[in-house]
Amino acid sequence: AYIYVIEFQKRGLPHGHILLTLDSESKIRTKDDIDKFVSAELPDPCTDLRLFQIVTKCMVHGPCGTININSPCMRDGQCCKSFPKQFKDDTEENVNGYPIYRRRATEPVQVGKYSIDNRWVVLYNPWLLKKFNAHINVEVCASVKSVKYLYKYVYKGHDAASVKIQKEGALDHDEILSFVEGRYVSAPEAMWRLNEFNLSHKSHTVVRLAVHLPQQQPIVYQDGQEAQAIERAALRKTTLTSWFELNKNDPSAHNISYSDIPQYYVFDKSTTNWKKRQRGGQNVIGRLPVVSILDSERYYLRMLLLRKSGAISFDDILTVNGLRCITFQQACQEYGLLRGDQQWHDALNEAAQFQSPRQLRMLFAMICGFGEVEDVPDLWVQHQVSLCEDFVHRYSEQTGPHYALADIEELLTSYNLSLQKLHLPTVDLPASVLERANFDVVEEQAKANSIAATLLIGGRTAHSVFKIPIDLNATSTCNLKPNTKEADMLLKTKLIVWDEAPMTHVHAFLAVDRLLQDLTKCKEPFGGKVILLGGDFRQVLPVILRGSRTLTVASSLKKHALWLKFHKLYLTKNMRALESERDFGAWLLDIGEKKSGSTIQLPLQCYPSIQDPVHQLYSDIDFSSVTPQELKGRAILTVNNERSMEINNKVLEFMPGNETVYKAVDMIMSEDPQDQLTFPEEFLNSLTPTGLPPYELKLKIGCIVMLLRNLAPSKGLCNGTRLIITKLQQNIIQAKSIDGTETFLIPRIPLIPSQTNMPFKFKRMQFPIRLAFSMTINKSQGQTF
């Protein structure tokens, strides 16, 4: 996409402000990309004399400051453009919304009567300078903060002045009539306007859609003609009321949301009707005006319009699951779009219809751990019967709730919570009875899952065991307190096995080292505990957001002094490889050791002629009868999340059955109402940061998904666990493990992205899963196919 605006100054020719939005495959994402397209340095005259001449002629600021205090840019002894800039050896990304560009310290050159260096160079693109031989300032504006500022800047308008006209001797005057707008029109601007050249242009058409309450559409009228204006308004439809009529008469519009309708229909202002487009629509954007929360009913109506398709009236929007709500706020509440505990009550009520009490208690613990419940005791009281049903049947109505609470207490430890912290009734049972209750739970699990009992149980992620923070730095500490159950378990632990260690940032190891030293009061590495690391540094290293190769390597444990404390054991034989794969395995090791040279020639079997990987891998599957084991061994690996999501949605189309779409609720994490207006909800809906599910989560029964959070690590529900969907409810999703031996309930939970380049934090209320027919190479590490 693009926009441009022509601006005129009091002298010289017109100039343009152009804002370009690049295609996703061409976006500038790394520091190397920035350095490739934008330069802030003087070119070498020996290698490119023409570019050097253009830069020194057109792209040198001032100079100003102490060497030229009379420069026009000087304000109160300072340059208003902040020149000279600081020297910088490497480009730094996203500092307050903008990069700090590389300006290396080099020998000064003589330009006119001044000696200048890279600190005075205005940002430029070498190709554009050589193409046009003119002053062209090029900058990267990759953050939302900078883009929003630039949109306002390019449309800031021409210079203007105000003139006050007052009659001599007159004491009373009309201020509005006395002030007129004064403009200075230069000769270049006059020429431009007389020739009817474009003053602005954009690649996309933006259609403003009405958001108004019933019988409250805005009316424009002249004084004295109010009655006639009301009569005309009663006969004319707005874009909203016309959308209702369209849904009544055109079934093909039922699956199109109000904001997307301009892509497929044109609003005819003469007839005030939506008409189907004959062509185009790709470059049309529908926009709902931002509504302040102070105008509450319009605000909640807007929320509903962003989600509900096919509405035929305001009453239809107010109707939720057959219940007609009184207000739009109540309708939002029924949809689960507002904060409150109703969604958790609905989730437990749904689950109680088809799940065992044991599964309900696990769901209750998840909701308490992730769900930001406002009144946990009330949640327990209202659902106590279904949560205690098995224990009441086994023991009695008096002691059954105590056994259930004892089980919940055990489940809550995974979230560093307790009954006391949640203000739930404490368990008043003898220790022997509590042990028996826990034994009953284990016994019940063993009966339901005899195969799993033979496997290694207790595997956990490092983040959940040690409470490693998500945002790490060199001084990070683990959020695990002494004298807790988790701390006692670590103190009793003799051996810690840490798999896929090369993928973990060195700051995580340092945080665990500090934790164990604090707990054990021992200054030996890791508090004297035996740490067994597993992994291969020739595989995937820690992921650094837009990090260079240097930063990625520096984040590895192998580059830290702590690595010298480890005793290295090298595997000499691949026990899992077949005899026919020995050569291929040796070839992979040579690549890891860089013995194959700088250019790698893939074997022919690595790139067969696959036109469509989805068709190649999934077209032969009968999804109506496929077994989990057949799906388990198939996955398409990609480099990035965007491509993975495209493939997943394509595979989902192959599957039979009805598609269920779960729309998330996004909200800015700020108390400032201005932030709510600055970043509207539909903008948040368009974001899918790493580690978050999409705003529109599309699922079918039988599809494979991947968990995005550690919901219950001790039960195998870890970040990266693959599951198969077995039931889709409005507030609950039921899934079973990929081997089909265990069933889980997954609720909606609030999710906050750990790393973004956004100038704000936002929260997404959604099921913490993604489709997993395809996944990134990084996410596939540790998976078994």
User: What is the domain partition of the chain in residue ranges?
Assistant: 29-141, 205-335, 341-438, 462-571, 610-779
How far apart are alpha carbons 599 and 612 in whole angstroms? 27
Q: Nearest 5°: phi and psi at 618? A: -120, -5
Task: Evaluate if residue 425 carries a pLDDT over 60.
Answer: yes
Q: What is the number of residues in the chain?
A: 785
Task: Evaluate if residue 319 carries a pLDDT over 90.
Answer: yes
pLDDT for 405 equals 92
pLDDT for 682 equals 84
Q: Can you give 109-137 as a three-state secondary structure string?
A: EEECCEEECHHHECCECHHHHHHHCCCCC
CA-CA distances (angstroms) from residue 286 to 204, 239, 259, 307? 10, 11, 5, 14
Task: Evaluate if residue 531 carries a pLDDT over 60.
Answer: yes
pLDDT for 374 equals 85
Task: Evaluate if residue 197 carries a pLDDT over 50.
Answer: yes
CA nearest to 502, candidates 537, 532, 543: 537
How far apart are alpha carbons 551 and 547 in whole angstroms? 6
Residue with tokens 């002249």: 222
pLDDT for 445 equals 35
Compute and round to an integer the Cα radius of gyration of the chain.
32
Q: Can you give 284-305 as a three-state secondary structure string?
A: EEEECCCCCCCCHHHHHHHHHH
Q: What is the mean pLDDT of residues 124-130?
A: 97
Residue with tokens 């992730």: 370
DSSP class of residue 746 equals E
pLDDT for 205 equals 92
More confident call, 140 vs 578: 140
Q: Residue 105 — pLDDT band, cuts 50, 70, 90?
A: very high
pLDDT for 56 equals 95
**Is the separation of the CB atoms in 59 and 40 below 8 Å?**
no
pLDDT for 451 equals 24
pTM to 2 decimal places: 0.69
* C-alpha dihedral (339, 341, 342, 345), degrees to nearest 10: 150
Task: Evaluate if residue 434 carries a pLDDT over 60.
Answer: no
Q: What is the mean pLDDT of residues 202-218?
A: 92
pLDDT for 739 equals 77
β-pairing, 732-737 with 665-668? unpaired
Q: Residue 226 — pLDDT band, cuts 50, 70, 90?
A: confident
- Residue 676 CB coordination number (10 Å): 18
The sign of the CA dihedral 228, 234, 236, 239 is positive
Q: Residue 447 — pLDDT band, cuts 50, 70, 90?
A: very low
More confident call, 438 vs 203: 203
Q: Tell me the pLDDT of the chain averaged across its residues.
A: 84
Burial environment of residue 243 by CB neighbours within 10 A (0 to 12, 13 to 18, 19 or more): buried
pLDDT for 218 equals 87
The one-letter code for the residue type at 604 is L
Q: What is the mean pLDDT of residues 212-238?
A: 86
417 token code pair:
């919570």
Task: Evaluate if residue 542 carries a pLDDT over 60.
Answer: yes
How far apart are alpha carbons 450 and 405 in whole angstroms? 26
**Is the separation of the CB atoms in 744 and 735 below 8 Å?**
yes
Instruction: Strands of 700-766 (E only): list them.
Output: 704-707, 722-728, 732-737, 743-747, 749-751, 762-766
DSSP, collapsed to helix, strand or coil, labels residue 585 as: helix
Residue with tokens 């909200």: 667
pLDDT for 165 equals 60
Crossing angle between the packed helical segments 400-412 and 357-370, to the nearest 10 degrees: 50
pLDDT for 455 equals 35
β-pairing, 530-533 with 495-498? parallel
Residue with tokens 């009707």: 273
Q: Residue 276 — pLDDT band, cuts 50, 70, 90?
A: very high
Lowest-pLDDT choice from 90-104, 206-220, 522-536: 90-104
The one-letter code for the residue type at 269 is K
Q: What is the mean pLDDT of residues 748-772?
A: 85
Q: What is the pLDDT of residues 579-637, one digit of tens each?
A: 777 777 788 888 887 776 667 777 776 666 666 778 778 877 777 677 767 777 788 88
CA-CA distances (angstroms) from residue 186 to 5, 7, 157, 158, 181? 17, 11, 15, 11, 16
DSSP, collapsed to helix, strand or coil, labels residue 586 as: helix
Q: What is the pLDDT of residues 243-275, one digit of tens each?
A: 999 999 999 999 999 999 999 999 999 999 999
Task: Evaluate if residue 328 carries a pLDDT over 80.
Answer: yes
Burial environment of residue 530 by CB neighbours within 10 A (0 to 12, 13 to 18, 19 or more): exposed
Task: Evaluate if residue 448 carries a pLDDT over 90.
Answer: no
Task: Evaluate if residue 364 carries a pLDDT over 80.
Answer: yes
445 token code pair:
């699990």
CA-CA distances (angstroms) from residue 31 to 20, 23, 473, 505, 681? 19, 18, 21, 21, 30
DSSP class of residue 371 equals S
Task: Evaluate if residue 435 carries a pLDDT over 50.
Answer: no
How far apart are alpha carbons 6 and 191 in whole angstroms? 13
Percent of the chain that is helix, strand, coil (3-state, to 5): 40, 15, 45
516 token code pair:
């164990």
614 token code pair:
């989805």
∠512-515-520 over CA atoms, to 5°?
Answer: 125
DSSP, collapsed to helix, strand or coil, labels residue 670 as: coil
More confident call, 669 vs 734: 734
∠88-93-98 over CA atoms, to 5°?
Answer: 95
Lowest-pLDDT choice from 4-8, 37-41, 364-368, 614-618: 614-618
pLDDT winner (highest mean) among 148-157, 162-171, 529-538, 749-758: 529-538
CA nearest to 707, candidates 728, 693, 721: 721
Q: Nearest 5°: phi and psi at 518? A: -65, -40
Q: What is the pLDDT of residues 680-730, one digit of tens each?
A: 888 888 888 888 999 999 999 989 999 998 888 778 888 888 999 999 998
Return the percentage of the chain with pLDDT > 90, whole number: 36
Return the percentage of the chain with pLDDT > 70, whole number: 86
Helices (H) and strands (E) in the chain, counts: 28, 31
Lowest-pLDDT choice from 313-322, 335-344, 423-432, 504-513: 423-432
pLDDT for 382 equals 94
Beta-bridge mates of residue 435: none
Lowest-pLDDT choice from 250-264, 380-394, 419-433: 419-433
Residue with tokens 């509590």: 434
Q: How many CA atoms lie within 13 A of 159 on its CB side?
A: 8
DSSP, collapsed to helix, strand or coil, labels residue 495 as: strand
Task: Evaluate if residue 184 carries a pLDDT over 80.
Answer: no
**Is the separation of the CB atoms in 92 and 100 below 8 Å?**
yes
241 token code pair:
């009321």
How far apart are alpha carbons 250 and 239 in whole angstroms? 15
Task: Evaluate if residue 454 carries a pLDDT over 50.
Answer: no
Q: What is the mean pLDDT of residues 377-403?
A: 90
Q: Nearest 5°: phi and psi at 286? A: -90, 135
**Is the separation of the CB atoms in 300 and 323 below 8 Å?**
no
How far apart are alpha carbons 608 and 603 in whole angstroms? 10
**H helix runs in 427-555, sequence order:** 431-448, 462-466, 485-492, 506-520, 549-554
Q: What is the pLDDT of residues 643-671, one digit of tens each?
A: 899 999 998 988 888 999 999 999 887 76
∠651-654-660 over CA atoms, to 5°?
Answer: 80
Q: Which residues contact 688 (CB under 8 A, 6 or more apart)?
A: 641, 645, 694, 695
